[in-house]
Structure formats: C-alpha cells, structure tokens
Amino acid sequence: MSERKRESNPPLPDTGERMIPTLQGEISVVFARHALTYEYALKYVEGRTVLDAGCGTGYGSNMLASRARSVRAIDLSAEAIDYCRTHYAAPNLDFIRMDVTRLGFRRAFDVAVSFQVIEHLPDLDAFLNSLKETVLPGGMILLATPNVGTPRTGDAANPFHCNEMSYDALHTLLSRHFSSFRILGIGHAQPNAARSFIYRSPLYKLGKLLRRGSLVKKLANKTLALTSFRVISEKVAEEAMDLIAVCSNGEES
C-alpha cells in the first residue's frame, strides 16, 4: 500500500501548468478533474504492471499503485521526480526520470497511462507508436487531454501546449493507431446554469487567480459545484472538459 511521506524539501514551484495536489480545505477545479481520471483508470490496473508516462507530481501514480502489481512512473522533470520520491513510497512504486518521447521499454507493461501529456508533445504519432511498443499485445493504453473545440490563439493560448485537441481530432489520431478504442469524458456531475454563465464570462478567468484556499473560491464551489465531476459516455464532444481515450493494444509488431 502506498503512503504519503512527510515533506522535507521546499515545496515544488507552481508553474501554472504542473498539477500540485490540493491540501485539506483547498479548491482546484482542474485537480478534481485530473484525480477523477486516475480514479477511473483503477479498474484497468488491478494486479497488472503499469507505466505512468508523464507522472508529474506522482499523486496519480500513487493511486494506481494501490491496485496495480507494480507501477513505473516517469517524468522528464528532475524536480518533479524528486517531489514524487519525497511524497510517495511503496514497494510496488518506482519513480524514474525519463523522456516520454524516448521510452526505453519494450513489451514491458500490461497497461500504460499518459494523462494530460499529449497536448505538450509535437509528434503524437511517434509517441503513440512508442507507447504501443511498450505495452504487451492485448494490453491497454489510456490517454487523457483537455477537450478544446477550437485551438486557442493569441493571449488566450496556453504557452505550455502545442497540440490541443477536440473530440474529432483525437478520434482521427487514434484511428491511425488502434482498431479498438473509445473516447469518454470528464464532465460536471450535474448541470448548473449559473456555472455555465460563469465559464463564459470574464469572472472565470479572475477566479483562476484566486488562491486555492480563498473563501470566495470555497463559496463558489459550494454554490456552483465546481469540483463535482463524473465520467460521461454521451455528448462527450459537447460537454466533456477532458477527454479519456481507452485503447486496446491489439496489434503485434
């Protein structure tokens, strides 16, 4: 069983893109979505060998290790790997610094997950080919990425992203690599007209500047259910905030 280790190093810098887990009483809409994605993945890793490609701060790898036979978690950032090793430890959990575009494994895992990674990579076909070589035939590859209907440009563009994808774009990409896959989504658990209005207004951008523990953010979450999400299989293109691809690695090479 994985356990959280006591923090002895300075906190990991928040770059605005790196996902740092929330503490007690903190509110993060994005972290709630990302954590639910890992929770969903638990059903695929029971008793299996797992690769977490692009593990970030390791909270998801730690979740997977609670069910998997073993988890090997990799990330390019040395400070992120140091953070992972400081905070999480289990006999079946291993953190390694490695470039996800240069995976050094072949037919080594039953399952590979790579969440919130592909939007950062310029060559998606090469990355998926690498993942397919890493996973055993008949194994599973799970991906997650933000659902971006129209790529953002100018001041609205995310400087960390180079491949933002819509449902249709992701479907086209996966069709080139997998004969069997499905695309699900992370959507709000319940509709809320006020929340929908806030998302479209400048208030949403201002709210993102608030500290996670701010009273305003806590009140907004209580009123608008900002962090209440579920996995959806219908109207994914229209309603999902994140896309989850579940792919069968059925081809031999």
Domain locations in the chain as residue ranges: 23-190+225-249
pLDDT at 8: 44
All residues at 6 or more sequence positions from 124 whose CB lies less than 8 Å from its CB, including other chains: 118, 163, 173
Task: Provide block-wise average pLDDT over 10 residues at a time, the chain (253 residues).
Answer: 47 65 78 94 98 96 98 94 94 96 90 94 92 96 90 58 86 96 93 69 62 72 78 96 95 49
Pick the CATH number of 23-190+225-249 from 3.40.50.150, 3.40.50.300, 2.60.120.10, 3.30.70.100: 3.40.50.150
pLDDT at 220: 66
Task: Read off the tokens for 139.
Answer: 């194994």
pLDDT at 7: 47
pLDDT at 81: 95
Distances 184 to 31, 128, 239 between C-alpha atoms, Å: 18, 18, 11
Residue 16 phi/psi, 5-degree rounding, is: 95, -15
pLDDT at 1: 43
Task: Read off the tokens for 195.
Answer: 């929340």
